[in-house]
Amino acid sequence: MNNHKITGVFSAAATPLNADGSPDIGLFTEHCQRLLAEGCHGVALLGTTGEANSFSSSERRTILEAALKAGVPADKLLPGTGVVAIAETVELTRHAISLGVTKVVMLPPFYYKGVSDDGLLAAYSQILEGVGDNRLQVILYHIPQVSGIPLSVPLIGRLIEAFPDTVVGIKESAGDFNNMQAIIAAYPGFSVLAGADPLLLPLLKAGGAGCITATSNLVAGSLRTVYDKVHNAEQTAAVDQAQARINAYRTLSNSYVQIPTIKAMVGLKTGNAAWTRTRAPLMPISDADYAGLSEAYAKLP
Amino acid sequence: MNNHKITGVFSAAATPLNADGSPDIGLFTEHCQRLLAEGCHGVALLGTTGEANSFSSSERRTILEAALKAGVPADKLLPGTGVVAIAETVELTRHAISLGVTKVVMLPPFYYKGVSDDGLLAAYSQILEGVGDNRLQVILYHIPQVSGIPLSVPLIGRLIEAFPDTVVGIKESAGDFNNMQAIIAAYPGFSVLAGADPLLLPLLKAGGAGCITATSNLVAGSLRTVYDKVHNAEQTAAVDQAQARINAYRTLSNSYVQIPTIKAMVGLKTGNAAWTRTRAPLMPISDADYAGLSEAYAKLP
């Protein structure tokens, strides 16, 4: 077994909206509680699927505070706190810690592209020194197809060396299994979490720590089955079946624009069409796509 | 002649820093005044060259307020106000207008990539309706190699149609002359401003409105010569010589990482090495590069 500091199935929770575009706090906290009830070890709110970067700093604080106020335990919340400006990442991270939320998922500054590892090391160092709290545990966020900023294996090593008690894991959302294996091989004990659902099972077999994924908004129970039973030789069929179910949901969500489709599918799951709303620049899926999605959704395992 | 609502030579002003990383307000306002004295029609502060996205919202406000307090006229300031979250772009734009600054350069939301024109139209529409002030004049900001978000010719047309008195121009920083020509041909009177210095002369000849460039931090007078004399048949030699001088500075700045190099070159021009400082994730150029740069700088025309 391993000694991962952070391990489990975490949901990259979507954020429902009111008709005026504001976050629907009641529906969101209900969603968080359902995710935990279905088996998630925690909720990674305010990430890419959660449209965090489309919310203002004050809205982000409100959403996190609302989850706590609704009774979601602080140690089950892993908010995204990485924004473009270092000073604001420090503020959001300190705010989380002030509420007892000590685990965060952190994007690097993502405006400038092609920046050096030295520059990214300096940025993360200034953030972590600026927060200056040894309770903090950071999951780095590698999602170059969106952020434009890959986090290289050597950079990860330099961050672990500089902040061994703080930099404890990475969400690998490039979906690059070779990269995941390289990180695991290079840094034993460092938590590699899959950002793409189909990789949960192979990643766990390869020594990974779990996942933070979008499809968990829909099939958290199946993800949990894979996580709990992966090393049980008598449960291979159940594990494979769970992973196949996850993959079917993932394939359908990725048949359209992913994030709006995940939200629409949560709406289909819960019978609440308010879930289809998105924030610009993301747009709800078209009526035609919604009709096709609904039909396909009804046939999922 | 043309009827551009915004036309001229504008500087994508760099932002000097104190040793602690905070903006050096005194040096910055001095720089703004020098840019205007050297011939800039205005200062496009807080853009990509100005490292705006590395400053917090409150720092951005402080920088703009400081320029005004130092006596830079409001109608000569064109701050960047486009950030990732629509609500915060609205706030920064309203803040500028509240100070009498009515012309802004506006990035689209730039976290999500591959978003639709419908999504970008919705985003800009929500911003402009959220600001809700008919004094506002917006220069769209097309810099896909950094933002990851191209603004297509059809999208520009939809924005002009929806907001004809507000959406008055575009900073074309892709450096794509064919794209500039296509925008000019499609939307007469709409101001196309070059974001790349070598294109100022050809763009003006093709009906463009001017430029917002980084090299203006160094050779504003030469850019002004090109702008003022481009249509004067007796001044062809002077114009070509000025454009050649601009290009020499641009070639040197792009021989290293551009923005830190522009800052280092302002330091060489003004004899103040404090200008070499940058904000992470951008890093100052290395000592070796600085030595090479200094030597090459001394030989520039």
pLDDT at B2: 64
> What does the pLDDT look like over B222-236, one tens digit per residue?
999 999 999 999 999
Q: Is A128 at the interface with chain B, CB within 8 A?
A: no
- Position of tokens 């500089």? A162
- Nearest residue in A to B147, CA atom: A111
Is pLDDT above 90 for A3? no
Is pLDDT above 70 for B1? no
Q: Is B111 at the interface with chain A, CB within 8 A?
A: yes
- Report whether B155 contacts B121 (CB < 8 A): yes
Mean pLDDT of A10-32: 98
Task: Using alpha carbons, select from B46, B52, B40, B103 the residue that is nearest to residue B74.
Answer: B103
CA distance linking residue A83 with residue A30, whole number of Å: 26
Ordered by where they begin, the domains of chain A are: 8-235 (3.20.20.70)
B249 is catalytic: no
> What does the pLDDT look like over A93-107, one tens digit per residue?
999 999 999 999 999
B123 to A280: CB separation less than 8 angstroms, yes or no? yes
pLDDT at A2: 64
Question: Which residues in chain B are closer than 8 Å to A280, comparing Cβ atoms?
Answer: 86, 109, 119-120, 122-123, 126
Is pLDDT above 80 for A127? yes
Confidence label for B3 from pLDDT (cuts 50, 70 and 90) = confident
Mean pLDDT of A28-50: 98
> Among residues of chain A, what percentage have pLDDT more than 90?
99
Q: Is B275 at the interface with chain A, CB within 8 A?
A: no
Mean pLDDT of B95-117: 98
Local structure of A19: helix, strand or coil: coil
ipTM, 2 decimals?
Answer: 0.96
> Edge-to-edge, what's the strand order for the sheet holding A42-43?
A42-43, A8-11, A210-213, A191-194, A167-172, A137-142, A103-106
Q: Is B162 at the interface with chain A, CB within 8 A?
A: no
> Among residues of chain B, what percentage have pLDDT more than 70?
99
Shortest alpha-carbon distance between residue A130 and chain B (Å): 13
Shortest alpha-carbon distance between residue B260 and chain A (Å): 12
- Backbone φ and ψ for B21, nearest 5 degrees, come out as 90, -10
Q: In sequence order, what are the residues at sequence separation of 6 or more whose Cβ sits closer than 8 angstroms to the Cβ of residue A190?
A: A4, A156, A160, A168, A169, A170, A183, A184
Write out the DSSP string of B97-114: HHTT--EEEEPPP-SS-S
